[in-house]
Amino acid sequence: MCSEMREQVEATIEVIRPALQADGGDIVLRDVDADTGVVEVELVGACGTCPVATQTLKAGIERIMRDRVDGVTEVVNVTEALA
């Protein structure tokens, strides 16, 4: 289950990635917790310093991830969690 969920998350990131790269940023998958449904990512490049990165994460990335991958409950940016 865990590896299948991670594969689905990775595939979804590949769909999202071109839009982020077009704006000079990118997304790196850090962890997938299949038990809680929390996906940890790191927004890098322009996305790492963008003032609307949190909005992009929640309204864009998290919404898409929840629509495409069963079991995803939240997407968190680990860079913000460490700050």
* Structural domains in the chain, sorted by start: 2-81 (3.30.300.130)
What pLDDT is attached to residue 15?
95
User: What predicted TM-score, i.e. pTM, was given to this entire model?
Assistant: 0.88
Identify the pLDDT of residue 61: 93
Distances (CA, A) of 22 to 25, 45, 71: 7, 11, 29
E strands along the chain, which residues? 25-33, 38-45, 74-77
Q: How far is CA 71 from CA 15, 22, 29, 44, 56, in A?
A: 18, 29, 16, 25, 20
Residue type present at position 22: A
pLDDT in tens, 5-50: 999 999 999 999 999 999 899 999 999 999 999 999 999 988 888 8
pLDDT value at residue 27: 94
**pLDDT over 90 at 62, yes or no:** yes
Name the more confident of 13 and 79: 13
Locate 20 and state its tokens. 């982020």
